[in-house]
């Protein structure tokens, strides 16, 4: 297994400054303030680099007052760093990367700058990289420390990404990262603009434990999706290792901004060395989720922060960050 799980130590955190007015509309400044707060929280534990369009540099410097945070000028189309950053892996004692193709989720025309950012990052940090013609976003995969990678058919097998067979993709990803298994969920959350990224519904956390989103609302359009996902992952994980444990994390109640219902999940969080940074939705589920995370991570501080305006743009904490592993 060459992929490095997110709960391992980080060398840096990478973030992109929100720039897509079509997505954020009148709320872009609110999203930027939330990004700034997120960057401040992470910078308490690891170096943070924010990549920003030239025309937004002044605003970024004024909003991000923390002098310890590095602001890097770069041309961007959007702010979902998880999806456009390199996919880092270990090669012997060195950090390397596969830089996959990014095509704007197969639906947005402006993506050419974002498709270059992974090369820019690798050159900046002097990380050797290989390019892959496979279209793959970082939020579309997750992985544990047992050689297992998890993804969704609705994204990776979507013809708007790849006209490639499941067998071919499995062979290529196993070859790249020395994987033992690839576990395919059918889809992600209903209405997810990415076509169903895995990082809204499922997350390995180490110690043979895995988080999965859940809802008890049988009228929810996510109810059957998540029930099917739970059965699939139980069957596969218990077959691989009978001591694996699956912990359900409830979805937040419906959240709405300007008549837009947000596709929201607490699983879209960020690991730090001494804390976890988790979205706060100001719903009844906040306290319940806090208690679950605190019980799972008794030695870490659980930080829940406001991210509703980031979420309005289509993602959350995990989507706007990328951890660079420390090896």
What pLDDT shows up at residue 30?
97
pLDDT in tens, 300-310: 999 999 999 99
What pLDDT shows up at residue 274?
97
- Reported as half-sphere exposure (CB side, CA atoms, 13 A), residue 91 has a value of 12
What pLDDT shows up at residue 223?
97
Reference 322, options 37, 79, 60; nearest CA is 79
Split at pLDDT 50, 70, 90, the class of 272 is: very high
In a domain, 3, yes or no: no
Domain count, the chain: 1
In a domain, 1, yes or no: no
In a domain, 46, yes or no: yes
What pLDDT shows up at residue 35?
98
- Would you say residue 110 has pLDDT above 90? yes
In a domain, 30, yes or no: yes
DSSP 235-246: HHHHHH-TT-EE
Distance CA 7, CA 82 (A): 15
In a domain, 274, yes or no: yes
In a domain, 110, yes or no: yes
* Sequence-distant (≥ 6) Cβ neighbours of residue 207 within 8 angstroms: none
| Residue 268, CA distances (Å) to 16, 40, 199, 315 in order | 16, 18, 6, 8
- Residue span of the structural domain in which 208 resides: 10-325
pLDDT in tens, 179-215: 999 999 999 999 999 999 999 999 999 999 999 999 9
Residue 198, token pair as written in the block: 């895995």
- Average the pLDDT over 274-285 and give the result: 97
The sign of the CA dihedral 257, 260, 264, 270 is negative
Split at pLDDT 50, 70, 90, the class of 238 is: confident
Structure pTM?
0.96
Distance CA 73, CA 57 (A): 7
Which CATH number do you get for residue 220? Answer: 3.75.10.10
Query: Is the CB of residue 244 less than 8 Å from the CB of residue 205?
Result: no
Split at pLDDT 50, 70, 90, the class of 239 is: confident
**Which residue carries 């209405």 as its tokens?**
191
In a domain, 77, yes or no: yes
In a domain, 58, yes or no: yes
What pLDDT shows up at residue 99?
98
Where residue 3 falls (left for φ over 0; alpha for ψ -120 to 50; beta otherwise) is beta
């Amino acid at each position: 297994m060459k992929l490095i799980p997110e709960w391992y130590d980080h060398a840096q955190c990478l973030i992109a400054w929100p720039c897509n007015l079509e997505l954020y509309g009148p709320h872009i400044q609110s999203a930027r303030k939330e990004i700034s707060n997120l960057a401040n929280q992470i910078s308490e534990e690891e170096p943070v680099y924010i990549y920003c369009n030239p025309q937004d540099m002044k605003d970024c410097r004024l909003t991000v007052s923390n002098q310890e945070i590095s602001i890097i000028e770069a041309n961007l189309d959007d702010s979902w760093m998880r999806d456009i950053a390199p996919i880092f892996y270990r090669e012997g004692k060195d950090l390397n990367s596969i830089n996959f193709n990014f095509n704007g989720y197969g639906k947005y025309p402006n993506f050419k700058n974002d498709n270059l950012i992974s090369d820019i990052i690798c050159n900046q940090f002097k990380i050797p990289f290989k390019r892959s013609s496979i279209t793959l976003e970082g939020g579309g995969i997750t992985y544990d420390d047992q050689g297992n990678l998890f993804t969704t058919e609705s994204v990776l097998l979507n013809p708007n990404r790849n006209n490639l067979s499941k067998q071919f993709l499995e062979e290529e990803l196993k070859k790249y990262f020395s994987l033992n298994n690839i576990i395919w969920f059918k889809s992600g959350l209903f209405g997810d603009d990415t076509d169903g990224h895995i990082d809204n519904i499922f997350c390995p956390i180490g110690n043979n434990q895995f988080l999965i989103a859940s809802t008890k609302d049988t009228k929810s359009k996510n109810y059957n999706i998540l029930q099917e996902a739970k059965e699939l992952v139980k069957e596969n994980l218990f077959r691989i290792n009978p001591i694996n444990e699956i912990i359900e994390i409830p979805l937040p109640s419906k959240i709405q901004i300007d008549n837009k219902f947000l596709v929201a999940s607490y699983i879209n969080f960020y690991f730090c060395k001494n804390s976890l940074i988790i979205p706060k939705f100001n719903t009844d589920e906040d306290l319940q989720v806090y208690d679950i995370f605190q019980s799972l991570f008794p030695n870490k501080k659980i930080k829940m922060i406001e991210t509703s305006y980031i979420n309005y743009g289509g993602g959350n904490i995990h989507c706007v960050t990328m951890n660079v592993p420390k090896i």
